């Protein structure tokens, strides 16, 4: 009688990998789209889905890489639709096989559903491979039986994944470093009392979201000089001064701004909330 494998996590075996590899194949366009600009799945949501699956599977390498990615992107509020995605992702991970995406289709368009399925499938494969590394280490350290056939099989999996895993780990390290170096978002300085116009109020409240990305914080707040920018949304305008770890806001366009971004309110809002490439064409940048 074969003794029970004491390793508690699922590792990559053909039986476990095949359904997920098929799912990756079926949803591959969605996978590509989820990493492209103008994506159907917001990067923060994508990382939440990935971490939800990873939490179920217990892969520490994926948790480290994607935790770094999530920290780099910064936190935003959780929408109701996101909760449905996470529930679906966790259910798939617990089942160990792709599940019927019908519950998602009630709240998401087909392209987004495909992107979610692809994201779940690709991280499932990654989790299985990551766990296989730990499984192999457990065999080497004799915490697990050193079965020759299974060991060779696991070595093959790890060897095949190595060319992709190493750059991903390096990227994780870079993202983590950027997050640590990026200064925190300061309280915006505003005009006194009730004088600030609504655009100034909006910018002040939205600053933590606008500057959630660590690289952006590094570039903008870490600037050694204070940069004055003009912003005109509809008829209302504001001047933003950023740099040296500070944000200062004022009504109107100051004479010293280096450029003015102007457009209708809707494209500006969408631009600010992440849809950069889709909305940039609806905006104008002019010299003051």
Give the binding site for another protein (CB under 8 A). Answer: 76-77, 193-198, 201-202, 204-206, 209-210, 233-237, 251-252, 264-266, 269-270, 272-274
Nearer to another protein, 8 or 38 (CB): 38
Tokens of 130: 């990551």
Nearer to another protein, 127 or 239 (CB): 239
Nearer to another protein, 5 or 266 (CB): 266
Q: How far is the CB of 261 from another protein (least distance, A)?
A: 15
Nearer to another protein, 151 or 197 (CB): 197
**Tokens 């994780």, residue?**
172
Report the alpha-carbon distance of residue 88 to residue 71 in Å, rounded: 23
Nearer to another protein, 21 or 280 (CB): 280
Report the alpha-carbon distance of residue 59 to residue 172 in Å, rounded: 15
**Nearest CA among 139, 266, 36 for reference residue 131:** 139
Helix (H, G, I), strand (E, B) or coil at 189: strand
CB atoms within 10 A of CB 2: 6
CB atoms within 10 A of CB 200: 23
Q: How far from 262 is each of 128, 191, 232, 279, 288, CA to CA, in Å?
A: 48, 21, 5, 12, 11
Q: How far is the CB of 36 from another protein (least distance, A)?
A: 20
CB atoms within 10 A of CB 83: 12
Q: How far is the CB of 272 from another protein (least distance, A)?
A: 6
Q: How far is the CB of 279 from another protein (least distance, A)?
A: 10
Q: How far is the CB of 236 from another protein (least distance, A)?
A: 5
Q: How far is the CB of 175 from another protein (least distance, A)?
A: 23
CB atoms within 10 A of CB 172: 19
Nearer to another protein, 85 or 233 (CB): 233
């Amino acid at each position: 009688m074969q003794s029970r494998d004491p390793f508690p996590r699922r590792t990559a075996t053909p039986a476990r990998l095949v359904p997920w590899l098929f799912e990756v194949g079926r949803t591959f366009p969605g996978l590509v789209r989820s990493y492209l600009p103008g994506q159907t799945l917001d990067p923060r949501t994508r990382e939440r889905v990935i971490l939800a699956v990873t939490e179920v599977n217990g892969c520490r390498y994926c948790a480290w890489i994607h935790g770094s990615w999530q920290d780099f992107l910064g936190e935003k509020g959780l929408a109701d639709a996101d909760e449905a995605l996470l529930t679906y992702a966790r259910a798939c991970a617990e089942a160990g096989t792709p599940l019927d995406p019908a519950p998602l289709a009630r709240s998401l368009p087909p392209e987004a559903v495909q992107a979610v399925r692809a994201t779940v499938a690709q991280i499932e494969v990654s989790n299985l491979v990551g766990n296989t590394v730990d499984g192999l280490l457990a065999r080497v350290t004799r915490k697990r039986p050193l079965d020759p056939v299974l060991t060779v099989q696991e070595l093959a999996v790890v060897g095949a994944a190595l060319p992709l895993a190493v750059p991903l780990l390096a990227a994780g390290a870079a993202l983590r470093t950027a997050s640590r170096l990026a200064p925190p978002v300061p309280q915006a300085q505003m005009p006194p009392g009730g004088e600030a116009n609504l655009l100034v109020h909006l910018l002040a409240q939205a600053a933590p979201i606008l500057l959630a990305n660590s690289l952006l914080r590094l570039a903008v707040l870490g600037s050694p000089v204070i940069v004055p920018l003009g912003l005109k949304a509809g008829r209302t305008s504001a001047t933003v001064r950023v740099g040296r770890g500070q944000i200062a806001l004022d009504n109107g366009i100051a004479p010293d701004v280096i450029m003015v971004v102007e457009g209708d309110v809707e494209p500006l809002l969408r631009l600010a909330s992440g849809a950069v490439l889709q909305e940039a064409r609806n905006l104008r940048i002019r010299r003051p």
